[in-house]
Chain A
Amino acid sequence: MAAVADTVSIAAPPVAPAAAPRAHPLRRLLRRRFAAVGLLIIVIFVVLALFAPFVAPYDPLATSWSAIRKAPSAAHWFGTDEIGRDVLSRVIYGARASLLAGLVSVLISLSIGVPLGLLAGYAGGATDMLISRATDAVLACPFLILAIALAAFLGPSLTNAMIAIGISATPVFVRLTRGQTLAVKAEEFILAARAIGNPPWRIALRHVLPNIVPALIVQATLAIAAAVIAEASLSFLGLGQQPPAPSWGSMLNTAKNYIDNAPWMAVWPGLSIFALVLSFNLVGDGLRDALDPRQI
């Protein structure tokens, strides 16, 4: 028997390090190399943002007239800006605005979009029609243009930019939740829950919602990437974080005026936006695969 077992094990094709069935979703995510790299970069940015006062070499608002537009050096690794502020310190502090905008605006979208989507999908009829048409209307306004309009009417600030981005991104979550609710609603366990007399709100919250969470997590991760770009775009246009508070978008807005004699002012904030957005996209793609039941 042992010989047979040996033969079998020798003849067996090399097994790829695939995830074990029912492995924890996080473990399945980390087995995807690109997603793991993305997650690592996000963790680095989060740590930098949280511990900015300890990590940043200078005060991000401190100006120095003797160090105006200095190229990267040992004293200022990323160089200095037009009023002598350290670019590295501003990039580190700028991570706060970007991460905060990404998280808060997606939380706003989730807290409006998920209840509306659940209501539309579960109640159906005129409620569904009304919510769906309103969703179509918001979706019809291009994301950034609606965010610009909202930020313009609300007034320029980081808080209003987050509200504007959150509202503009809400329809995607309404549509997703509605579609997933309709699919889950047709399952037999929902019929069973109704048969034993559960009220609709309880079925929606206790039985439908937990089943649509994976899809929402994937969408939320990708939405954070879009929100980070949107915040940077609004700040670039002057409608987000207001100077002198550091934000990658507003740093780029200033940098474009000095591109011919201080290009480092534009390189680092842009690279930071790119790295953070790319990381969220990689993690989002990885999560989509890791949480897909067909992959288990």
Chain B
Amino acid sequence: MLTFIVRRVAIIVPTLIFVSILIFGLQNLLPGDPAIILAGEDRHPDVVAYLHEKLHLDEPFPVRYYYWMRGVLHGDLGESMRMQKPVLELIVEKLPVTLELAAFAILIALCIGIPAGVVSAVKRDTPWDYGANVVALWGLSTPNFWLGIMLILLFSVTLGWLPASGFVSPFEDWRANLAALVMPAFVLGNAIAAVLMRHTRSAMLQVMSSDYVRTARAKGLPESRVVLKHALRNALIPVITLGALELGTLLSGAVLTEQVFSIPGFGKLIVDAVFNRDYAVVQGVVLFTATAYIVLNLVADILYVVVNPRIRFA
């Protein structure tokens, strides 16, 4: 088990190095002198000179990368030109909002995706199955920013039940916080529910034809117990790992969802940074996101081994 974890952690190190090179290399895509672009609209010569020195722009790429990476390893992701704040501070400030949104989205995705997958597998080739598949295809094909706009039209503009945009901290008013997050969380959870439904369906179909399910039925257990206790518990194991891969969808989706509902989270931070040409923030957010994604997938891989006795004791 320990060997597995050590080996798995060792594999992510070169991936993280490649990610950092890739993200640092983005700066080289800027046409012309990066210092002039980073200096903003004023392009004050002093600022340009300061940036040249600070970013070691006169040095070759590997040396610049070394300095940047050394800063990153010490928690220095650079400074926001627009907000005059360290990038890490901005990320830490915005992260809780996105995490809360993501947590609600995952909850909604689990509540829709897993039951739909189970019903679809148990009632295979019936209208239930077709219905669940149509819902999954709908979830996969609907652009979430459009779904967000349509929900605003229905629940905010027409019915007036929910606020169209904005965010209230749960510590200030938890009811207002919930009301503000219901629609964005549904929008974000919708696409992931579709993927979870498909994974659950195929895992359940595989498990339902296994010997121990036949044995459970032969013992005379009620079908609901066979499905929920014997089949689902085993089917959920691969769903954990495959579900973890959807974290990327969640983070990408958060960018658009936060933009539609004007939620001041992580996604809005990167979009605002793009328009403010605040490239240090863009780089910092991408690096942070990629690292979080890699680490969360590592955790999912380890969890998979922990919850699966066949691998744990192999």
Contact = CB atoms under 8 A, between A and B. Distances in A.
Contacts of B137: 278, 281-282
Contacts of A136: 15, 18
A238 to B, nearest CB: 7
B1 interface: no
Contacts of A273: 143, 146
A281 B255 contact: no
B290 A141 contact: yes
Interface string B251-282: 11101100110000000001101110001001
B26 A270 contact: no
B293 interface: yes
Contacts of B142: 274, 277
A138 B18 CA distance: 8
Interface string A37-59: 00000000000000000000000
Contacts of B308: none
Contact of A266 (B31, B141, B146): B146
A142 B248 contact: yes
B248 A270 contact: no
Contact of B255 (A148, A263, A270, A274): A148
Interface string A118-158: 00000000000000011011101111111011111111000
B145 A152 contact: no
Nearest to A151: B274
A263 B138 CA distance: 21
Interface of B: 14-16, 18-19, 21-23, 26-27, 29-31, 137-138, 140-143, 145-146, 149-150, 152-153, 157, 164, 247-249, 251-253, 255-256, 259-260, 270-271, 273-275, 279, 282-283, 285-286, 289-290, 293-294
Given A141-B289, A142-B289, A233-B256, 19 more contacts: A133-B18, A142-B293, A143-B248, A149-B23, A149-B26, A149-B270, A150-B26, A150-B29, A152-B273, A155-B31, A232-B143, A238-B275, A252-B145, A252-B146, A252-B149, A256-B260, A259-B152, A259-B164, A274-B141
